[in-house]
Amino acid sequence: MGGQPSHVISPMPIGKTVIITGGNTGIGYEVAKGVAMLGAKVILAVRTEERGKSALAKMKADYEERKKGGDCYDIVVRDELDVQYHICDLTSLKSTMQFISWFKSTVLTEDQWESTYQVNYLAHFLMISEFLPAVCASDVECRIVIISSQNHMQAEFDPEYAASSRMKKFDGFNSYANCKLFQIQLMYSLDKVLEHHPHIDVLSVDRGKLDAMAFPNSDASSQGFSCQMSCLKCCGGMRDDRPGADTVIFAALDPALQGLSRGYFLRPRDKARPAPCIIL
C-alpha cells in the first residue's frame, strides 16, 4: 500500500489535452492531478466557479508540496501545472453543450480561425495574394499549384463556411473537405483574375491518399473521416508519397501544360472534373 504507483509512469506528450469530468473532488481530482503532474494540459469540467477555483488551488498546493518533498521520479517538474477549469453541469445538456462549444472554440488559431481552414486555405490564399503583384509585374513564366484532394467531392458545401469556421458547427472531415473544395474554387477564381497575365498558370492536383494529412484538428475529426481512412487502408487505397509527388511535379513543370491553367489532375496527364458545385 502507498509508495510507488502500480500503473506505468511515462510523461504525457507535450500539448496533450485531457478533459476530466468530476475532476474537482474524489477519484476525479486524483486522476486529474496525476495526469497533470505527468505533463498533460488538464481541463476540469466542473459545476461551479467555486468548485473549480478550490480544486485548482488545492492541486497547485499539492504540486508545490510534492516538488518540495524532492522525490520527483514519477512526475514532470515544471514551474506550475497546466490545469484550468470550465463550467459543465452534467445535469444540464445545455450546460454540457456550452462546454463542448467552448472546448471546440479552443482549437482556433491565434488569428481566431478554425485551424484546418487556416492551414489548408487561408494562409495559402494570403501567400498567393501577397506574392501575386510581383509575379504579375514580372514576365517570367510562373505556375501556382494548389494541392487539393478528391475529398472535396464529399464536402457538404457551405458558402458561409468562412464565417461558420469560427467553430459554430465544427466537423473535422467536412471542414477539411470544404477547404479542399475552396482550393479548387480558388484555382478557377485566380485564373479569371489573371486572364491578362498569360505567363501565370494556376493548376490543382489531388496528391492521393496517405495516413497523414494536413488535418490539424484531427483529434476532433469526425467518425466519417476515421471510417473513410480505415476503408482506404483495407482496400489498399492508400498511395505513398512518391506517386503523389509525381502529380505535383508534373503540374509544376510539364511543358505541355504551359498556358493550360484551370486544370485539376488526379495523376500526371489525368485531368479530372471537380465537384459540380464549383463555379467554373
Report the interface residues with ligand NAP, using CB under 6 A: 119-120, 147, 149, 206-210, 212-214
Query: Torsion-angle region of residue 109: left (phi > 0), alpha (psi -120 to 50) or beta?
Result: beta
Nearest approach in angstroms of CB 107 to ligand NAP is 12
- Residue 23 vs 244, nearer CB to ligand NAP: 244
Supply the DSSP symbol for 12: P
Going across the sheet that includes 17-21, the strands are 17-21, 41-46, 82-87
- Residue 149 vs 185, nearer CB to ligand NAP: 149
- Residue 148 vs 261, nearer CB to ligand NAP: 148
Nearest approach in angstroms of CB 212 to ligand NAP is 3
- Quote the CA–CA distance of 24 and 15 in Å, as a whole number: 21
- Quote the CA–CA distance of 20 and 31 in Å, as a whole number: 8
- Residue 47 vs 207, nearer CB to ligand NAP: 207
- Residue 76 vs 147, nearer CB to ligand NAP: 147
- Quote the CA–CA distance of 190 and 243 in Å, as a whole number: 27
Burial 68-94 (b: 16+ CB within 10 A, else e): eeeeeeebeeeeebbbebeebeeeeee
